[in-house]
């Protein structure tokens, strides 16, 4: 990246929107957890799809590697440059316009740099719901959500990000613009190309805009926090809740004892809604398009039936919006609370819903054998089979020594997941962190197909190389 080439790129966006000074670049080269640190000579901030196109045309001509970046909230090193100092960052933060909201069609068209919380609030102000909900929703961007196929707490009822996207606008590695901003519920005219880019983590092109689905805003919402003895009991509760609420069951979260204790210990404005801490806990949410009373009545029926079936030991029920928020805060603060307990090994995995108790039991036996003093910190989305199987270091131990065993422990846990035909990358993506793991665990035919697609759309390997594949 010589000065002449650097200046050519800068001219495309203007010097005001191009960063070259070291102190300005740090935010864009350091992964937010500090696991990955790269180098770059240049960060570009385009304001339009046409500017993105011009950047990629020049990159293609000069064989310059491009790393697209959204809100920079990922956990797998998927939006960080390497250490060569030759890769440039294209930040989408200025492309943050909402182009259109169509309430009759229940869609919103927004640019990739739009903050997720902005879309949520816009929907709410228009009596609609955009159901993607993440801990980082105040800073993550729609383009990044799509590029990683983000999950979150609303997957049970509404699906992950893939299910919420109707159309995309994408700039290809060649600089060509694919206008796929379709808002059709039925379009049976060949391959569904948008699905290639959803979850591709910027390795096939740069998403610049999207057509997103909106839903009716619930008229009522009821949340319950339950104490349980085991994940098996939680599965019984999930069955009861599903049978009585159907699609009105909009969330079902499972939490072990340790993450609740960590949260109560370290987080402010959090309290246990139950009289004591149980071995396991479930948070379930029922939404109603009819009324608040309907949501509360449905939840009451679920809890009564579950007590009769011995599916729960105790429960606290929300009676106001403030209590709904308080109960959700317990679950949302768990990832932050765990940081205060030292070194942590994290596993973002999924198995079939009915296999979750079996996975937790077998994984627990492995950790008891390999690291008997380690503390299990398990929580996640039981409703869709996605668990965050985290392991905190033993009390008063050395974090560095603990984390030295991470590759070994990760391999054992991931082997268990694969043996159960699960996924080793459920909702956080692959990036750099799980790239080699994907190569080891993915079916060869699938990998070959993925490589063929990459070669077709990015023949010179200029789009975010070293990620996913």
SS3 per residue for the chain: CCHHHHHHHHHHHCHHHEECCHHHHHHHHECCCCCCECCCCCEECCCCHHHHHHHHHHHHHHCCCEEEECCCCCCCCCCCCCCCCCCEEEECCCCCCEEEEECCCCEEEEECCCEHHHHHHHHHHCCEECCCCCCCCCCCEHHHHHHCCCCCCCHHHHCCHHHHEEEEEEEECCCCEEEECCCCCCCCCCCCCHHHHCCCCCCCEEEEEEEEECEECCCEEEEEEEEECCHHHHHHHHHHHHHHHHHHEEEEEEEEHHHHHHHHHHCCCCCCCCCCCCCEEEEEEEEECCCHHHHHHHHHHHHHHHHHCCCCCEEEECCCHHHHHHHHHHHHCHHHHHHCCCCEECCEEECCHHHHHHHHHHHHHHHHHHCCCCEEEEEEEHHHCEEEEEEECCCCCCHHHHHCCHHHHHHHHHHHHHHCCCECCCCCCCCCCCHHHHHHHCCHHHHHHHHHHHHHHCCCCCECCCCCC
Q: Answer for the pair 469, 454: CB distance below 8 angstroms, yes or no.
A: yes
Give the distance, in angstroms, between the CA of residue 341 and the centroid of all CA atoms in the same chain. Answer: 23
Residue for token digits 């919380």? 117
Distance from C-alpha of 43 to C-alpha of 12, rounded to nearest angstrom: 12
Please give the chain's pLDDT, 469 residues, in tens: 899 999 999 999 999 999 999 999 999 998 877 778 999 999 999 999 999 999 999 999 999 999 999 998 888 889 999 999 999 999 999 999 999 999 999 999 999 999 999 999 999 999 999 999 988 899 999 999 999 999 988 899 999 999 999 999 999 999 999 999 999 999 999 999 999 999 999 999 999 999 999 999 999 999 999 999 999 999 999 999 999 999 999 999 999 999 999 999 999 999 999 999 999 999 999 999 999 999 999 999 999 999 999 999 999 999 998 999 999 999 999 999 999 999 999 999 999 999 999 999 999 999 999 999 999 999 999 999 999 999 999 998 999 999 999 999 999 999 999 999 999 998 888 999 899 989 988 889 999 999 999 999 999 999 999 999 9
The answer to whether the CB of 167 falls within 8 A of the CB of 185 is no
According to DSSP, the residues that pair with 411 across neighbouring strands are none
Q: Which of 167, 140, 170 is nearest to 152 (CA)?
A: 140
Q: Which two tokens stand for residue 464?
A: 């975010």
195 within 8 A of 71, measured Cβ to Cβ: no
- Contact, 108 vs 206, CB < 8 A? no
Question: Tokens representing 437?
Answer: 């793991």
At 427 the pLDDT is 87
Q: What is the pTM of this model?
A: 0.92
As a whole number of Å, the CA-based R_g of the chain is 23
Rounded-to-integer distance, Cα 327 and Cα 314, Å: 15
CA dist 367 → 228, 261, 329, 406 (Å): 22, 20, 29, 12
For 21, residues 6+ apart whose C-beta sits below 8 A from its C-beta are: none
Pairing mode, strands 215-216 and 220-228: unpaired
* 16, two tokens: 């005001």
pLDDT value of position 34: 74
Dist CA 141 CA 362 (whole Å): 37
User: CA torsion, points 146, 151, 153, 157, in degrees to nearest 10?
Assistant: 90
Q: Are the beta carbons of 253 and 384 closer than 8 angstroms? A: no
Give me 241's structure tokens: 């809740």
**Predicted pLDDT at 152:** 85
Q: How many residues does the chain have?
A: 469
Q: Which domains does the chain have, with CATH numbers?
A: 3-91 (3.30.43.10), 98-216 (3.30.465.10), 220-336 (3.30.70.2190), 341-428 (3.30.70.2740)
Nearest to 73 by CA among 166, 168, 142: 142
**How many other CB atoms sit within 10 Å of the CB of residue 337?**
21
pLDDT of residue 259: 97
């Amino acid at each position: 990246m010589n000065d002449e080439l650097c200046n050519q790129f800068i001219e495309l966006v203007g010097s005001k929107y191009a960063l070259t000074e070291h102190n300005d670049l740090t935010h864009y080269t350091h992964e937010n957890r500090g696991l990955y640190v790269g180098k770059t000579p240049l960060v570009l901030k385009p304001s339009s799809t046409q500017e993105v196109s011009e950047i990629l045309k020049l990159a293609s001509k000069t064989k310059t590697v491009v790393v697209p970046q959204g809100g920079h909230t990922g956990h797998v090193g998927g939006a960080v440059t390497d250490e060569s100092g030759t890769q440039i960052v294209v930040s989408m933060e200025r492309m943050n316009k909402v182009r259109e909201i169509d309430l009759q069609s229940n869609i919103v068209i927004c640019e990739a740099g739009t903050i997720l919380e902005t879309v949520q609030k816009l929907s709410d102000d228009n009596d609609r719901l955009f159901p993607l909900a993440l801990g980082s929703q105040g800073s993550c961007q729609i383009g990044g959500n799509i590029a990683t196929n983000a999950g979150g707490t609303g997957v049970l009822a509404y699906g992950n990000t893939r299910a919420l996207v109707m159309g995309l606008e994408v700039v290809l590695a060649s600089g060509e613009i694919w206008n796929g901003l379709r808002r059709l519920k039925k379009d049976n005219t060949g391959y569904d190309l948008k699905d290639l880019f959803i979850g591709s983590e910027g390795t096939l092109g740069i998403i610049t805009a999207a057509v997103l689905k909106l839903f009716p805003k619930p008229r009522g919402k009821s949340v319950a926090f339950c104490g349980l003895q085991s994940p098996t009991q939680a599965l019984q509760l999930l069955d009861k809740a599903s049978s009585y609420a159907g699609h009105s069951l909009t969330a079902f979260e499972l939490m072990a004892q340790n993450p609740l204790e960590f949260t109560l210990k370290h987080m402010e404005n959090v309290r246990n809604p139950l009289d004591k801490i149980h071995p396991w806990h479930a948070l379930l949410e029922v939404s109603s398009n009819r009324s608040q009373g309907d949501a509360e009545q449905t939840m009451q029926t679920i809890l009564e039936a579950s007590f009769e079936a011995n599916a729960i030991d105790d429960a606290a029920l929300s009676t106001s919006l403030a209590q709904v928020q308080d109960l959700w805060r317990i679950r949302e603060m768990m990832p932050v609370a765990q940081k205060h307990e030292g070194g942590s090994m994290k596993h973002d995995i999924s198995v079939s819903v009915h296999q979750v108790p079996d996975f937790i039991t077998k994984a627990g036996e492995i950790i008891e054998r390999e690291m008997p003093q380690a503390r299990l910190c398990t929580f996640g989305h039981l409703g869709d089979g996605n668990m965050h199987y985290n392991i905190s270091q033993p009390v008063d131990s050395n974090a560095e020594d603990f984390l030295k065993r991470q590759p070994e422990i990760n391999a054992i846990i991931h082997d268990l997941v694969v043996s159960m035909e699960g996924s080793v990358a459920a909702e956080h993506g692959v990036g750099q962190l799980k790239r080699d793991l994907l190569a080891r665990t993915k079916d060869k035919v699938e990998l070959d197909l993925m490589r063929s697609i990459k070669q077709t759309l990015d023949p010179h390997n200029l789009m975010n190389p070293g990620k996913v594949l």
